[in-house]
């Protein structure tokens, strides 16, 4: 066993850092959802109606949206997902929550990280006051770039200590969850007609999906032809692409082992055991089997397992105290 | 922007003589400011405000529901204090803090000053901030006020007076450090010509002092800063100080008392804590000892402190000397404990519990400033000349109902300093809050927070009441006269 670190990490601080990272990743992914859907709608054949309901569905928050009583128009959905202060998973709420968490651990993270989160906050609050963005893709790009910048700053200004690994853990788990939901969008989205399956129009949608996770180019290099099962394999099981579920879980697992100091292949707590199991499952999974059992069903169970891992992390590391600022979930 | 049309209006001005000439120690500053191109100062001002917002240097306003985070208004024109003036302030503060510590220690032990009849017992024992739980406690070196932020003001004659002692959990020092950083970033030229004493050693001095309080046997003492949390108005400062000292910032829920010792909850279990710089009021510190409904505190903390297992700064109970009625007796304390006259005088104070004083106060409400004995932050006060008849009637009623709780002072013509207002300079009233650290020795930070009443004519400088601040420069000895030659900062 390692000697106690000179500067032990407060449970509350670990919790806040972990959630700060999750919220930033969540904000980035919601911006990606909106961007890809907007892009898709532009490619719809003339005469077919816009579909904005599917991206509400993939967040898992359809009920909350419906309570608000609006139709699933572009305006309503973008307002809800991007700017609604009352909806805890909107980009706005995520960035506010990330900032609240960052504020409570300002002495742990670097000043540069804090300033970057703060400028994201100023960006999103200014846009919220102004109303819907005139050029939606530009707004989504700004959010994406701001999140990239945050991670770059974190990488280079914060010591890669225990708190940093909690940041990585939160970020990777959130990303694995969101990529799995992105992949699920094809389950919810309706093609203009059943006969469109496998047509060029179908290909347009799959391409847009890859682009939404910045995976189009990397996919092309690896598999060339656009094919649904290869895309599922790429986004779920790839061991090199940074937004793939398996890759994200591998990094999450590494972060967790760095936190506990347990050797790889062993586990010292529930979270390590669960995450290790899920990781191995993906390490040895075959896409044919997944598709055979139903992709949507697989993704659903994947998300359930990741939620359970999150619960275990809370139990193992944060549970000794009341929860910090948390917008939702 | 030029000072040519600037008016001192009969007040003591920090920069200009009554005849409109700049005081010797600010000549260089005036020269530099006047040599700036048109609009430059405003550009600097906006740059400074953007910088503060970007850095998230904000404070929370209680009772403001609209999100409530604001930047602390910051005026670019620094306030400069010549070395000779500063040395008097420094000596005066050292003398005062020394006497206050002796007083508090006396009150919680033998109470000689009461027995000798210097201060009436009932004044002390009726102070809301007197804590009988602290009777008999022996903090290291018998120091009770480790961190103080004394408020000084100048009257029409330019003389400095002590307005308040702020012994409990004084705030604002982070703005002293941040204001200096901002001014250096956007206004570097000015520093090159003057020998301004640096303020950035404060966090190291603070840490050193805190470590020196550690209970015996703590080889590498662990110091933490205890904050009420992110919704506290001074939260920025709590995290800033923790960050600058490289220590952990904890909330009450992070700490636990076990086996008589204090621990913090970490991802790897409990870790011992030796010194707590607490920014939580006495009342909320320990629900077992003080207010039982406190959710911010740590049950059992006072018992651990009493047993000498953990150090607290500032010491609980020290607020007894911060009561505004007790304040009136500080000059007597200085004579009693130090055997000397006070270097820095008090503002004359009427104590409403004395029949004669009360009659005078009730007769002269329109001229006086009335303060609640145990409030701070500019809450619960009446500024007579700026009050309405109905406010005065209400205060008169309150004074009659609870005379012990009120004091009154003459309305001082606080000194003013030139402040950027729109596109020109106007005089605004200021005060000065220097910061004093007291462990084995007493250290006065060469600088301080100059608070500015940003509203025209206002005498209330508190940030909760719309006050702003100025960077405050204490000049090194030998630099009181301005010289146009370049000299780099020492």
CA distances from A47 to A50, A79, A203, B210, B487 (A): 9, 24, 19, 73, 76
Q: Given CB atoms, is A111 within the 8 Å cutoff of chain B?
A: yes
A236-267, pLDDT tens digit by residue?
999 999 999 999 999 999 999 999 999 988 99
Residue B414 CB neighbours (<10 A): 21
Does the beta-carbon distance from B254 to A162 stay under 8 Å? no
Question: Which residues from chain A sit within 8 angstroms of residue B221, using beta carbons?
Answer: none
Distance (Å, whole) CA B440 – CA B418: 39
Contact B247, A7 (CB under 8 A): no
Question: Which residues from chain B sit within 8 angstroms of residue A11, using beta carbons?
Answer: 254, 265-267
Q: What is the DSSP letter of A195?
A: G
**3 state SS of B280:** coil
B339 confidence band (pLDDT: 50, 70, 90): very high
Mean per-residue pLDDT, B322-333: 93
Contact B275, B311 (CB under 8 A): yes
Average pLDDT score over chain A? 88
Q: Smallest Cβ distance to A107: which of B54, B249, B265?
A: B249
Distance, CA of B386 to chain centre: 24
Does the beta-carbon distance from A107 to B250 stay under 8 Å? no
Distance (Å, whole) CA B433 – CA B450: 6
Contact residues for B79 (Cβ-Cβ < 8 A; gap 6+)? B14, B417, B430, B432, B450, B470, B471, B472, B473
> Could you say which of 3.40.50.11290, 3.50.50.60, 3.30.1390.20, 2.70.70.10 is the CATH number of the domain covering B216-309?
3.40.50.11290
Percent of chain B with pLDDT over 70: 94
Question: Which residues from chain B sit within 8 angstroms of residue A319, using beta carbons?
Answer: none
Mean per-residue pLDDT, B471-475: 95
pLDDT at res. B126 = 82
Letter string b/e over residues A127-148, b meaning 16 or more CB atoms within 10 A of that residue's CB? bbeeeeeeebeebbebbbebbe
Mean per-residue pLDDT, A222-244: 92
Q: Smallest Cβ distance to B268: which of A4, A13, A122?
A: A4
Considering only alpha carbons, which residue of chain B is nearest residue A315? Answer: B267
Question: Which residues from chain B sit within 8 angstroms of residue A118, using beta carbons?
Answer: 54-56
Interface predicted TM-score (ipTM): 0.78
CA distance A163 to chain B (A): 10
Distance (Å, whole) CA B55 – CA B72: 12
Distance (Å, whole) CA A92 – CA B113: 60
Question: Which residues from chain A sit within 8 angstroms of residue B253, using beta carbons?
Answer: 12, 321-322
Does the beta-carbon distance from A114 to B235 stay under 8 Å? no
CA distance B303 to chain A (A): 22
Q: Given CB atoms, is B248 within the 8 Å cutoff of chain A?
A: yes
| Range in A38-47, A221-230, A253-262, B220-229 the model is least confident about | A38-47
Nearest C-alpha neighbor of A243 from the set A33, A23, A29:
A29
A280-319, pLDDT tens digit by residue?
999 999 999 998 888 889 999 999 999 999 999 999 998 8
* Residue of A12, A18, A101 best to disrupt the B interface, most CBs of B under 10 A: A12
Fold held by B349-411? Dna Ligase; domain 1 (3.30.1490)
Mean per-residue pLDDT, B54-73: 65
Does the beta-carbon distance from A111 to B243 stay under 8 Å? yes
Distance (Å, whole) CA B126 – CA B103: 16
pLDDT at B300 over 70: yes
Q: Given CB atoms, is A5 within the 8 Å cutoff of chain B?
A: yes
Does the beta-carbon distance from B268 to A5 stay under 8 Å? yes
CA distance B180 to chain A (A): 17
A38 confidence band (pLDDT: 50, 70, 90): confident
The torsion angles phi and psi of A236, rounded to 5 degrees, stand at: -90, -50
Element (H, E) at B209: helix B202-211
Contact A81, A34 (CB under 8 A): yes
Distance, CA of A136 to chain centre: 20
Domain ranges of chain A: 11-318
Which spans in A131-244 are helix H? 136-157, 162-188, 200-212, 216-223, 228-237
pLDDT at res. B483 = 44
Q: Given CB atoms, is A118 within the 8 Å cutoff of chain B?
A: yes
Percent of chain A with pLDDT over 90: 61
Q: Retrieve residue B119's tokens.
A: 């201060």
Distance (Å, whole) CA A251 – CA A248: 5
Which B-chain residues 56-85 have CB contacts (< 8 A) with chain A?
56
Does the beta-carbon distance from B265 to A12 stay under 8 Å? yes
Contact B262, B299 (CB under 8 A): no
Q: Smallest Cβ distance to A106: which of B239, B251, B265?
A: B239
Q: Smallest Cβ distance to A12: which of B240, B242, B254?
A: B254
Question: Which residues from chain A sit within 8 angstroms of residue B229, using beta carbons?
Answer: 104
* Residue of B54, B219, B224, B268 best to disrupt the A interface, most CBs of A under 10 A: B268
Does the beta-carbon distance from A106 to B240 stay under 8 Å? yes
B183-202, pLDDT tens digit by residue?
887 777 778 777 899 999 99
pLDDT at res. A189 = 67
Q: B397 or A40: which carries more pLDDT confidence?
A: B397
| Range in A237-246, B40-49, B173-182, B255-264 the model is least confident about | B40-49
pLDDT at B69 over 80: no
SS (H, E, C) A239-270: CCCCCCHHHHHHHHHHHHHHHHCCCCCCCCCH
Considering only alpha carbons, which residue of chain B is nearest residue A12? Answer: B254
Contact residues for A303 (Cβ-Cβ < 8 A; gap 6+)? A177, A180, A181
Does the beta-carbon distance from B248 to A325 stay under 8 Å? no
Distance (Å, whole) CA B244 – CA B261: 26
Q: Given CB atoms, is A110 within the 8 Å cutoff of chain B?
A: no
B342-375, pLDDT tens digit by residue?
999 999 999 998 999 999 999 999 999 999 887 6
Question: Which residues from chain A sit within 8 angstroms of residue B254, using beta carbons?
Answer: 10-12, 321
B96-153, pLDDT tens digit by residue?
999 999 999 999 999 999 999 999 998 898 888 899 989 999 998 899 999 999 999 9
């Amino acid at each position: 066993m390692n000697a106690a670190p000179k500067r032990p990490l407060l449970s509350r601080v670990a919790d806040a850092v972990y959630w700060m990272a999750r919220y930033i990743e969540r904000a980035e992914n919601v911006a990606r959802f909106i961007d890809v859907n907007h892009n898709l709608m532009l490619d719809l054949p003339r005469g077919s109606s816009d579909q904005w309901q599917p991206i509400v569905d993939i967040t898992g928050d359809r009920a909350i949206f419906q309570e608000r009583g609006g139709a699933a128009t572009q305006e309503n959905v973008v307002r809800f997902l991007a700017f609604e202060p009352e909806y805890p998973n909107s980009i706005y709420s995520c960035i506010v929550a990330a900032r609240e968490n960052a504020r409570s651990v300002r002495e742990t993270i670097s000043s540069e990280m804090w300033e970057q989160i703060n400028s994201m906050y100023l960006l999103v609050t200014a846009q919220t006051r102004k109303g819907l963005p005139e050029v939606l893709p530009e707004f989504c790009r700004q959010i994406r770039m701001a999140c990239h910048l945050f991670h770059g700053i974190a990488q280079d200004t914060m010591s890669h200590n225990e708190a940093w690994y909690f940041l990585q853990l939160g970020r990777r788990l959130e990303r694995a969850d969101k990529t799995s939901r992105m992949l699920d969008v094809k389950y919810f989205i309706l093609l203009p007609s059943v006969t469109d399956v496998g047509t060029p129009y179908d290909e347009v949608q799959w391409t847009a999906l890859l682009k939404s996770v910045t995976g189009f180019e990397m996919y092309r290099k690896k598999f060339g032809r656009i094919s649904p099962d290869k895309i599922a394999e790429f986004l779920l099981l790839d061991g090199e692409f940074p937004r793939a579920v398996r890759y994200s879980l591998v990094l999450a697992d590494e972060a967790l082992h760095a936190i506990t100091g347990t050797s790889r292949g062993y586990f010292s707590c529930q979270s390590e055991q669960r995450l290790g199991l899920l990781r191995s499952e993906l390490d040895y999974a075959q896409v044919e089997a997944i598709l055979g059992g139903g992709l949507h069903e697989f993704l659903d169970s994947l998300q359930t397992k990741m939620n359970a891992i999150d619960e275990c992390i809370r139990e193992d590391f944060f549970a000794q105290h009341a929860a910090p600022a948390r917008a939702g979930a | 922007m030029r000072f040519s049309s600037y008016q001192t209006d009969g007040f003591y001005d920090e920069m200009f003589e009554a005849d409109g000439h700049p005081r010797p120690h600010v000549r260089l500053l005036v020269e530099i400011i006047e040599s700036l191109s048109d609009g430059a100062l405003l550009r600097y001002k906006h740059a400074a405000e953007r910088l503060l917002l970007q850095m998230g240097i904000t404070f929370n306003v209680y009772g403001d529901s609209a999100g409530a985070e604001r930047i602390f208004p910051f005026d670019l024109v620094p306030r400069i204090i010549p070395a000779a003036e500063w040395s008097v302030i420094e000596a005066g503060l050292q003398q005062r803090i020394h006497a206050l510590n002796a007083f508090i220690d006396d009150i919680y032990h033998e109470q000689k000053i009461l027995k000798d009849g210097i201060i009436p017992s009932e004044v002390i024992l009726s102070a809301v901030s007197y804590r009988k739980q602290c009777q008999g406690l022996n903090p290291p070196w018998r120091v009770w006020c480790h961190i103080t932020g004394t408020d000084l003001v100048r009257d029409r004659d330019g003389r400095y007076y002590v307005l308040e002692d702020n012994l409990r959990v004084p705030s604002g020092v982070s703005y002293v450090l941040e204001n200096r950083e901002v001014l250096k970033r956007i206004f570097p030229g000015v520093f090159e010509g003057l020998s301004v004493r640096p303020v950035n050693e404060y966090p190291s001095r603070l840490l050193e002092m805190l470590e020196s309080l550690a209970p015996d046997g703590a080889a590498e003492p662990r110091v933490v800063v205890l904050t009420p949390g992110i919704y506290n108005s001074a939260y920025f400062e709590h995290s800033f100080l923790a960050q600058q000292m490289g220590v952990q910032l904890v909330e009450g829920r992070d700490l636990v008392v076990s086996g008589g010792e204090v621990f913090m909850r970490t991802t790897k279990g409990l870790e011992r804590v030796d010194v707590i710089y607490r920014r939580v009021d006495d009342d909320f510190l320990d629900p077992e000892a003080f207010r039982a409904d406190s959710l911010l505190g740590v049950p059992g903390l006072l018992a651990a402190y009493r047993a000498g297992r953990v150090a607290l700064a500032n010491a609980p109970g020290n607020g007894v000397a911060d009561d505004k009625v007790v304040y009136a007796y500080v000059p007597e304390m200085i004579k009693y404990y130090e055997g000397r006259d006070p270097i820095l005088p008090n503002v004359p104070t009427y104590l409403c519990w004395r029949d004669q004083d009360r009659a005078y106060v009730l007769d002269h409400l329109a001229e006086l400033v009335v303060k609640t004995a145990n409030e701070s932050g500019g809450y619960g006060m009446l500024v007579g000349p700026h009050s309405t008849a109905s406010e005065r009637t209400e205060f008169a009623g309150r004074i009659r109902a609870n005379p012990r709780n009120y004091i009154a002072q003459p309305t001082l013509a606080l000194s003013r300093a030139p402040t950027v207002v729109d596109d020109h300079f106007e005089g605004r009233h200021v005060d000065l809050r220097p910061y004093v650290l007291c462990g084995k020795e007493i250290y006065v930070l060469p600088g301080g927070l100059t608070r500015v009443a940003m509203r025209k004519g206002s005498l209330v400088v508190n940030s909760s009441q719309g006050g702003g601040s100025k960077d405050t420069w204490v000049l090194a000895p030998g630099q009181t006269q301005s010289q146009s030659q370049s000299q780099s900062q020492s």
